Amino acid sequence: MKSWEKLKPFYRNKSFRSTALILVVSSVLLVGALYLFESLKAGQPKREDVFPNMSIYHEGSTGTMALWEFLQAAGLKPGKIVEPLVDFYARTEDYVAQGDWMGPPQDTAGEGVILVIGPDTPFTADEISMFYTLASNGFTFIVFSPHTWIFAPFISPLTNMQDALSEKSLEYLELTRIFTNGARIVKDGTGVLGDAGKLFLPGESRFSKWSMKWDSLLSDQWGTIALEHEAGEGRIVLFCDSGLLSNLFLREGDNGVFIYRLVKHYAKGGAVYIDEYHHGVRHSLTIFYFLAKPEFRHLIVQALLFLLVFFYAKGIRFGQYRYPAEAKNEKIYYYSEGMAGLLGRRRYADKLLPLARANLAKLGTLLPQRYPKAAIDKALEESEAGDTGGHRADPVKKLKDLYRSIKEL
């Protein structure tokens, strides 16, 4: 009951009620719009041939964030590798022995795809051996790069690994510049690309020379785009361009649909991993991450709604509505129960009591029609009635008495 008595002055104020009503209606409409939007979005069927939308910055490389989101939206749920392949293999070795390659998060049954996109660090001898070890047990590695020094150790027929990693291996591979970024697939070794054969390849290069143990997988009128080599139950695929999967060009041509069908074909229902270690991994997040994620976006909306409530109700001070100034340079400070937290510390009470009385006295001069001077004088007299026996009365009690007198005006 006491709480209701404290709220009565606010509720009786017309301006306060109008402000509160606007805020409540705005909140209901905003929440309803968000709910409707999410309901409609959830009810839409997923389409395969959808263009990827670049938005957030995920925990990984900036260059693959659009691809990451696109594969997630397509239902492939990619994982990430943020360490050398040797360490990655050692960490999952127990699962490899059981045929469960990627461990508990993804039941892969020994099959899957690892995408190595635009590596900016060379592969070591141990990592190249790891490529073949994982591939021989069912995994497919797809390496995207426009650089011969990335592919040469794989293409080279040299049996000595140190020689294969040296410049000697470069003579067994050649990439030719074609000065055009368009490509229309005329040879599809996968058999699944179908109408998704119009690619945008900003690297403008094609394979023109390679070891005979590698087969041409994808070709257009300008030459070979991708090479393939079987290794046990899996395979290694070398793609002569990495820019087609970048944030800038993933939406060009059929690039998005192309990579989706290619990955789905080789994954065979297994895991899909993006090797962020060789691409340049980062472990920081930007504001775009939070804006794009629904759960964070809703929190941001709620925070903005709170700020709207906080700043829109700027007429409310200390729990009581403050009337607009009616005189030049007018400053009126009302005392209300909302100041109780401040008044509870008695060292402030002596300072606030004179201020409250002075501002109350001004009302009779500044707003005589609303607050008659006679009524104000009476309120001040009643608030002074607390002095008894020549002793100084409790200043907090005096302020509360003054507040009760103001309410009766």
List, for residues 101-126, the tens digit of each pLDDT value.
Answer: 444 334 434 578 999 888 877 788 88
| Distant-in-sequence, close-in-space partners of 175: CB < 8 Å, separation ≥ 6 | 146, 148, 205, 206, 207, 208, 240
113/246 same-domain check: yes
Q: Which among 317, 303, 304, 309 has a CA at the least distance from the CA of 25?
A: 309
The arithmetic mean of pLDDT across residues 298-320, rounded, is 62
128/265 same-domain check: yes
Amino acid identity of residue 174, one-letter, is: E
List, for residues 311-335, the tens digit of each pLDDT value.
Answer: 655 444 444 444 555 555 555 444 4
Tell me what the pLDDT averaged over the chain comes to. 71
**pLDDT in the model for residue 77:** 79
Rounded CA separation 195/258 (Å): 9
| Distant-in-sequence, close-in-space partners of 23: CB < 8 Å, separation ≥ 6 | 308, 309, 312, 313
List, for residues 244-291, the tens digit of each pLDDT value.
Answer: 888 778 888 888 888 989 998 888 877 888 887 776 654 455 565 566
189/137 same-domain check: yes
Q: In the structure, how many helices (H) and strands (E) does the chain have?
A: 15, 14
**pLDDT in the model for residue 244:** 86
- Phi first, then psi: give them for residue 225, nearest 5 degrees: -95, -35
**pLDDT in the model for residue 143:** 92
Top pLDDT among 364 and 330 is at: 364
Per the structure, the complete domain to which residue 23 belongs is given by 1-45+284-314
291/350 same-domain check: no
Most confident of the ranges 55-59, 69-73, 159-163, 335-339: 69-73
**pLDDT in the model for residue 102:** 42
151/183 same-domain check: yes
Top pLDDT among 204 and 48 is at: 204
206/181 same-domain check: yes
Domains: count for the chain: 3
200/165 same-domain check: yes
261/400 same-domain check: no
114/230 same-domain check: yes
For 230, the 3-state DSSP assignment is: strand
Tell me the CATH number at 77: 3.40.50
CA dihedral 306, 308, 312, 315 (to 10 degrees): 20
Element (H, E) at 96: helix 93-97
307/366 same-domain check: no
Strands (DSSP E) found in 106-190? 112-117, 139-144, 174-177, 182-184, 187-188
Most confident of the ranges 205-219, 285-299, 389-403: 205-219
Phi-psi region of 349 (alpha: psi -120 to 50; beta: other; left: phi over 0): alpha
198/344 same-domain check: no
229/290 same-domain check: no
**pLDDT in the model for residue 47:** 44
